[in-house]
Structure 1
Amino acid sequence: MERSRIAFDHWIHKHHFTFRDTRGRNLNVQCNLCLPKINILSTARDSTSNLKKHLERKHSVACRRRIRDEPSVEAPSSDGPSSYESSVLENQMAESSSEAKEAKIERSTIDPTTIYHQTSQSWLNSLVFNFIVEDVQPISILEQPGFRKMIEALSRGNKVMCRNAFITRLEVASNKMKGELKDKLDKVQTLCTTADVWSVQDRSYFGMTCHWLEDNLERKSAALACTRIPISYTCETIIAKIQEIHSSYNIESKVQATVTDNGNNFVKAFKEFCPEDDQEVEQSRFEDLGSILCDGEMGGDFFLSYFLPPHQRCASQTLNLIASKDLAEAVLKGQAGKLHSSATEKCAAIWHKAQSSTEAADAIESIAKINFTDPCSNQWSSEYYAINKLMSLTDSQLNELFEALGVPHFTPDETAYLTEYTDVFKPVAFALDLLHGEEKCFLGIVIPTLLTLKRKLEEKAANTRLFSKVIDSTVKAIDSRFKQVFESSDARLATATMPQFRLWWLPEDERESLRAQLITEVLQVDQGTEETETNGGSVHEDEFFSYGPGSSGNKSGKREAAEQVWLYLQGTNKDLKCLNEFPGVKKVFIKFNTTLPSSAPVQELFSNGSNIVTPKGHHLSDEHFERVLLLRYNSKITTALE
């Protein structure tokens, strides 16, 4: 059999065919270029001319040049050219008049199957690599027999990359991604970062993301780190990581604020290591510089304090804390506390049944046409929406549901209580959703959201039967927990530069003061731009002096800034695009609204990581684990995965 296949085995175009079997003096082969169509061809044992003719007729564009120059495997005839050579000559004459046209076609419509075969292994490696990174799959999948068998069968015998090949490719892609990200951040003037700590499988990770606004006011985001830290981390560990990450991307001076949750370690860290300018005068003291430099620990803390940006607590997490703690405690202490406990216990029985039994879930779907999920214990809004779903059902649907699940029915008082509860606290749930956003959510939306929430709750208080004291407690909690935001100059300027709000949210007697601050900021950002543009260049004498008509001195600049702010504040267009008409105000908007009101993006980074960190499937080192997460998160703004 080996002798009978000797012509086919030594043929230069053998790779275009797959041997199937022998039939007498002939061989049966399958054309790989015809795939996905199965095309079985027959050829003589000692000749490949039949297969060459097939390539001529069906795949001439892809194979013409190599076939044209190839000698026949058959013994040459002394009488003249072989039939194959004659066929080639005829084809050359027929095609000579349209050579240029066919060359163009060859470049644009070359057989994709040929491309696939020529680059199949490298293409397969890219597909498998992107699959693991984009879908956050554990690297151990490369060693699973079923996965390897499936890929090798679909790729017609190509091999799945090994673990070491994946790691090498991961390092190359990660370095490319970080280089591109640094280049992007070098061009950004202002950005904010979000930070949090995530603990899983007896490990702790420190995560950080950064966010900025483009000139078209589109928000861009990137992941900076998800690095391993000790399980018993301290506020000093957090400060060191923040400084280290900011420094590694050269963004220390660009960070407008770092957004975190209300965790004690973060609050303590920023409180103890805040910049010197934020310390009260009576806390200031002089230190001997020599002793500071000699004292390693104090010297480290001394210099770290100069790299910390302002701290912004997550607004959505703070409001969730108000709802799940202050509001909940006020409800339980109120006149309807027992009613609340009994009603929510019956709700919890329904949620538990829906989660633990497929039959119960099917019954709920059949009766109520809705799906129930067990509310997250630390997310007040998830419980609120679950109760709201139940209260959207009719009495007959509720009764049928209780009967089908075998849980106690609501009493009339409990039904009335839950109906009023969902109506009164609907604004709280809406505000939480609003502050949890990212792309369209800015720091300037926080104060108007809180003021509107307080007003709507106070309006509800006049008509509620059970929750007037609860509303009072909730409003006081908003004033107390958000006191820093209400008094923040950054948050107020961020709100004033949003066309949706301008100064309309402020009392009349406070508007003039904020308008003056806005003029000052517009003047400063314009001067900063001019200094950047003229930095290092020669200054003309007329530009040095600022006297006389036509001068560009400070008074003229201030008049222009005041006029621009006045025109902006008189406008009524609420679309962000209107800021293009007021370039100075737009720069102030970007400066202060770059800060996010929520630390939700870093939570998204952690949720991606949970797919990799599993008891059985995680065999990545901490460094490689971080690289996979960052590549996946940053795939939209870098080309490392292309």
Structure 2
Amino acid sequence: MSAVWKYFLLETPQSKTATCNVCKAVVPRGGSSVATYNTTNLIKHLKKHHTKEHDDFLAMGQKDQSRRKESLLQSFQRQGKLPPDNVKAKGITEKLLNFIVLDDQPLSVVENEGFRGLIEYLQPRYSLPSRRYLSETALPELYNRVSTKLAETLKTVPALSFTTDICTSDVCPMSLISLTVHWIDRDTHGLCCVVLQVKKCRGSHNRATIAATITEMLIHWEIPLEKVHAILRDNASNMKAAMEDMAVSSLGCFAHTLQLVVHEGLISQRSVSDALANSRKIVAHFKHSQLAQLEDMQREMQGAGTTTTPTRLVQDVQTRWNSSFYMIKSLLKQKRPLCAYAADHNLPVTLSANEWGLLEKTVTVLEPFEELTRKISSATSTAADVIPAVTVLQRLLAEENSTDSGIKTMKSTLLQAVRRRFSDIESEPLYAVATLVDARYKDRFFTSGETARRGKALLTQELEKMEQALLRASADEAGTTEAEPAEKVACMEAGPSTGGPPGTMKSSFSSLYDRILKEHDEPAAGTQAVVIQMQMYLKEPTIGEKDSPFQYWANNHGRFPLLSAVAAKFLSAPSTSVESERLFSSASNIVDEKRNRLTAERAEMLIFLKKNLTMFK
């Protein structure tokens, strides 16, 4: 609508004339009908008789014209593509890269017709970036941003523990060596675990190559060897020798050693190993054929009208003993349907009544090992769990039961294997000190007074070193060499500690923890300042087995500052290298058949971001 109508009035929309609001003059609208009426005469009237109003009219017309042009430009822009530096476009590109990283998608997904159609439908104005841009620009930028944040965090941590492992790809000639870092957060006292790096391992996997590769990774992250508390590795001789060449403390994977122990036990008794071999043949038969008939048999025995899904049999992997345990349990659960099936169908082998009995007893003996394997494979397991676990296993295997008939050789072999393979763990400083500073165990699980005394002597040395370090740090902050005496810290009043949940049912493995705790004698008194603090801590009751040692130190670091600092160092070490093995499970989803030409550098970035992106956004 023209701005001129601000100065004129119509009696009706069809009127041939308009009345001027300023002088009340009647001005013809021009034309002979409503369709041909115009505003030319009205504008001329303002120009001739009302100069000020005419100038105002012209100014308003220019504003209207500018607004119309701007509106047309905005409409055009809405129909065009978003520029790459647009905030919305950059946000979509970031989410796209997150989708590729976190969901193990190939970078070439942006070239897939279906995916392109989906993005076009969701946001027509967004231009999908090319695979080359994602690979050479977006991915390195995201990697650098996340790795910078991680590096800044690690600089503030005084002691770090690591797990490492080597994996060879099945789809391309690439070997990768991993380094996963573990530490205790000094603010939350929680356990942190982050993938530090996955690097291509060139050449043969000998001690020199492994040592050089891990050293390169530590140098890249600016981590001095003094900050390396321990490296968890597998039990291979090349790994152990590489750690010796690097002059760093290392521990063998507890889970790997446990695997060797159980394997010895399972093959020690011919009747048990034969029953296991027959079990594998039966499971393999149903894995390859006749599965539907067994499921029908299960439904018949469950009763008509049941909606329960039939239980599948579990095939074991001989390199993982617990898979054999799960296989036996699945067979025992389906004992009746299997026997009924065997009455009408041919099986490669059948289990006798004696073999079924042996399998039941084998499950009973292996139950504590399975419980322990789950415990040490958890994300919160530490090196402190090893000595108590071995002590409990030895006590449990040494107990004689009436149900041992038929498996005594296996049980005896298991006990001998545990004693032989773990004979020196109480003398290992990393295990001994870690056990003492874990408030669930303290000094209660050492098998002799001599090993307990050696452990306390090692802890005393660590406390003295930590005391000197804290005093130096305090003096540096204050700009003086004076600091509060350790006696003041050591003699603070001890408060109550928490115990485990009351009234809970415990397995045979867990119940022995309580029995061993009750048998322990009180420690002797000490005289040094650090020993006073240690003795106050050791005399307090232990916390419950299910309680968190990290939470204990979060609540008590003010009472025992030296012990808390030592605990943050020693409890950072896990008991197994499971984290590195889990990492390579993810790596197999990244370097797969569709991405068998992926370079080691790109694979490293994708694995690193897959594990760390959500933590360091």
Fold shared per TM-score above 0.5? yes
- 2:236 matches 1:263: yes
Equivalent position of 2:139 in the other structure = 170
Q: How does 1:129-528 map to 2 (within 5 A)?
A: 129-156=97-124, 158-167=126-135, 168-200=137-169, 201=171, 202-215=173-186, 216-230=188-202, 232-251=204-223, 252-271=225-244, 273=245, 305=246, 308-324=247-263, 326-332=264-270, 336-337=271-272, 340-354=273-287, 359=292, 362-363=295-296, 366=299, 369-393=310-334, 395-400=335-340, 402=342, 407=347, 408-438=349-379, 440-460=380-400, 463-507=403-447, 509-510=449-450, 511-528=452-469
| Matched-pair contact (CA < 8 Å) for 2:120–2:126 | yes
1:621 to 599, 604, 608: 599
Deviations 1:414-473 (A, max 9, x none): 1111111111221122222222222x2110110100110111112256640122222222
Name which of structure 1's ranges 562-571 and 492-501 shifts more when overlaid on structure 2: 562-571
- Cα 1:516–1:203 change in 2 (3 A) is closer
Deviations 1:117-167 (A, max 9, x none): x75433321222111101122222222222222222232353322112212
| Matched-pair contact (CA < 8 Å) for 1:354–1:364 | no
| Matched-pair contact (CA < 8 Å) for 2:328–2:359 | yes
Which runs of 5 or more structure 2 residues have no equivalent in the other structure? 1-36, 44-55, 65-81, 303-308, 491-525
Q: 1:218 deviation in Å? A: 1.1
| Matched-pair contact (CA < 8 Å) for 2:587–2:607 | yes
Instruction: Give the secondary structure class of the aligned counterpart of 1:632.
Output: helix
Instruction: Give the secondary structure class of the aligned counterpart of 2:593.
Output: coil
| Matched-pair contact (CA < 8 Å) for 1:261–1:314 | yes
Q: 1:387 deviation in Å? A: 0.7
- Cα 1:635–1:551 change in 2 (3 A) is closer
Deviations 1:495-543 (A, max 9, x none): 1111111111125633444334433322321221121222386436xx4
- Cα 1:185–1:360 change in 2 (3 A) is farther
User: Aligned AA for 1:528?
Assistant: A
Deviations 1:584-611 (A, max 9, x none): 2222212212111111111122111111
- Cα 1:496–1:262 change in 2 (3 A) is same
Equivalent position of 1:606 in the other structure = 584
Instruction: Give the secondary structure class of the aligned counterpart of 1:376.
Output: coil
Whole-angstrom CA distance in 1 between matches of 2:587 and 2:238: 22
Q: 1:169 deviation in Å? A: 0.6
User: Aligned AA for 1:471?
Assistant: K
- Cα 1:558–1:490 change in 2 (3 A) is farther
Which runs of 5 or more structure 1 residues have no equivalent in the other structure? 1-74, 90-113, 274-304
- Give aligned-pair identity as a percent: 21
Name which of structure 1's ranges 170-179 and 471-480 shifts more when overlaid on structure 2: 471-480
Deviations 1:276-324 (A, max 9, x none): xxxxxxxxxxxxxxxxxxxxxxxxxxxxx4xx41121100111112212
| Matched-pair contact (CA < 8 Å) for 2:160–2:181 | yes
- Cα 1:405–1:583 change in 2 (3 A) is farther
Deviations 1:316-352 (A, max 9, x none): 111112212x2233123xxx25xx3245323443255
* Structure number with bigger Rg: 2
TM value normalised by structure 1? 0.69
Instruction: Give the secondary structure class of the aligned counterpart of 1:258.
Output: strand
Whole-angstrom CA distance in 1 between matches of 2:255 and 2:285: 27
Whole-angstrom CA distance in 1 between matches of 2:529 and 2:578: 39
Q: 1:185 deviation in Å? A: 0.5
User: Aligned AA for 2:235?
Assistant: N
Instruction: Give the secondary structure class of the aligned counterpart of 2:180.
Output: strand
Instruction: Give the secondary structure class of the aligned counterpart of 2:158.
Output: coil
Q: 1:489 deviation in Å? A: 1.8
Whole-angstrom CA distance in 1 between matches of 2:278 and 2:138: 53
TM value normalised by structure 2? 0.71
| Matched-pair contact (CA < 8 Å) for 2:427–2:455 | no
Q: 1:637 deviation in Å? A: 2.6
The CA RMSD over aligned residues, in Å, is 3.4
Q: 1:258 deviation in Å? A: 0.9
Whole-angstrom CA distance in 1 between matches of 2:289 and 2:198: 34
Instruction: Give the secondary structure class of the aligned counterpart of 1:196.
Output: strand
Whole-angstrom CA distance in 2 between matches of 1:496 and 1:564: 13
Name which of structure 1's ranges 471-480 and 150-159 shifts more when overlaid on structure 2: 150-159
Equivalent position of 1:34 in the other structure = none
Deviations 1:184-208 (A, max 9, x none): 1100011111111101123211111
- Cα 1:545–1:190 change in 2 (3 A) is closer
Name which of structure 1's ranges 413-422 and 522-531 shifts more when overlaid on structure 2: 522-531
Instruction: Give the secondary structure class of the aligned counterpart of 1:221.
Output: strand
Whole-angstrom CA distance in 1 between matches of 2:166 and 2:298: 38
- Cα 1:76–1:221 change in 2 (3 A) is farther
- Cα 1:490–1:76 change in 2 (3 A) is farther
Deviations 1:386-436 (A, max 9, x none): 21122234x533324556885344221111111111112211222222222
Q: 1:356 deviation in Å? A: 6.3
1:569 to 511, 533, 538: 538
Whole-angstrom CA distance in 2 between matches of 1:156 and 1:463: 72
Deviations 1:339-371 (A, max 9, x none): x32453234432552366763685587468323
Whole-angstrom CA distance in 1 between matches of 2:119 and 2:190: 40
